[in-house]
Amino acid sequence: MTTAAASTTPSTGSPSVAATGPSTGPRRALDWRLRFGFLSLIWGFSFLLIKVGTQSYAPFQVTLGRLAFGTAVLAVAIAVKRERLPRGARTWAHLTVAALLLNALPFSLFAYAELTIPSTLAGICNATSPLWGMALSLVALSEDRPTRVRVAGLGLGFLGVLTVLGAWQGFSGLDARGTTLALLASLSYPIGWIYVRRTLAGSGGSALSMTGAQLLLATLQLAVVTPLFTTFPARFPLLPLLAIAALGALGTGLALLIQYGLVTEVGPTTAQMVTYFIPVIATAAGVALLGESLTWSTPVGAVIVLAGAALTQARRRA
């Protein structure tokens, strides 16, 4: 998860337009470190919630429910703060594309991926977003100059991906389709970030109202697509339904509100460090609560991925 012109969250969160620097607003009652830890837990457990949701509901239905609950939380926050939704057809057109790239598409891809791959692997694939972002920014953002450290981080990160996937064993036992979908979901985020950076940065809308509008548009997109590819559930199992509600209300809606506070208080660089805790929590949750298997290459590869991702975020010293 990288914060540039857009405040972005992992697949399990909701990448969105947001503030890009700290401010000197009022101190919050709960220390930012506690909120940081809570945010890490929410997003780390989101992969488990996706897995539970897809056990009884179609992936598109999981994504639609997630977006609907997340939008509801932001709608309440917007109403409480009496903020206005963005204005202008051009802004809404760009938000529609951002909603597809940063919400509807990656959320759906991860849901489909977890039909055939464990939540632990999905969480680690999510951590490759900074690597994809680094690679794409070298091509799409002329102001984002590479350094030897960042290029080395890129290479190290993808070496970690190969380690997680067990490349030396010929990817034996790996579900290629599910893994590819998870990696494509992670790739969708930086594509969306670059798009937002080029089209919506400095548009004037508040982070909360812009993101609320973005999630609303993503919900509408899934509301159109879902009936075309799924049938209405004959029954509604409670546990998976609660998982979807938690995924949306906590992992999307509340998580975004927490992230805004962190970005405002400590800045995007510190706030985005949550990215490096998510796969650790996702792996622990998948193994402990879902009984997913874990070989040595998964945690070792994840550490290499995270180290590479951290290096890709290194900046030139002035």
- Helix, strand, or coil (residue 16): strand
Q: What pLDDT score does 139 carry?
A: 74
Q: What pLDDT score does 296 carry?
A: 81
Task: Give one DSSP letter per residue of 177-201, joined into a string.
Answer: HHHHHHHHHHHHHHHHHHHHHHHTT
Torsion-angle region of residue 21: left (phi > 0), alpha (psi -120 to 50) or beta?
A: beta
d(CA 167, CA 149): 25
Distances (CA, A) of 118 to 60, 180, 261, 291: 18, 13, 32, 10
Nearest to 293 by CA among 97, 120, 146: 120
Write out the chain's pLDDT in tens, 318 residues.
333 334 444 444 445 554 444 444 455 667 888 998 999 999 999 999 999 999 999 999 999 999 999 999 999 999 999 999 998 999 999 999 999 999 999 999 999 999 999 999 999 899 888 888 888 877 776 556 667 887 888 888 888 888 887 766 655 667 889 999 999 999 999 999 889 988 987 777 788 999 999 999 999 999 999 999 999 999 999 999 999 999 999 999 999 899 888 888 887 767 777 877 888 899 889 999 999 988 888 888 888 888 888 887 776 554
Q: What pLDDT score does 4 carry?
A: 33
Q: What pLDDT score does 209 carry?
A: 92
Q: What pLDDT score does 178 carry?
A: 94
Q: What pLDDT score does 53 carry?
A: 97
- Helix, strand, or coil (residue 6): strand
> pTM to 2 decimals?
0.86
Half-sphere exposure of residue 13: CA atoms within 13 angstroms, side-chain side = 31
Q: What pLDDT score does 165 carry?
A: 78
Nearest to 255 by CA among 274, 277, 276: 274
Q: What pLDDT score does 11 carry?
A: 46
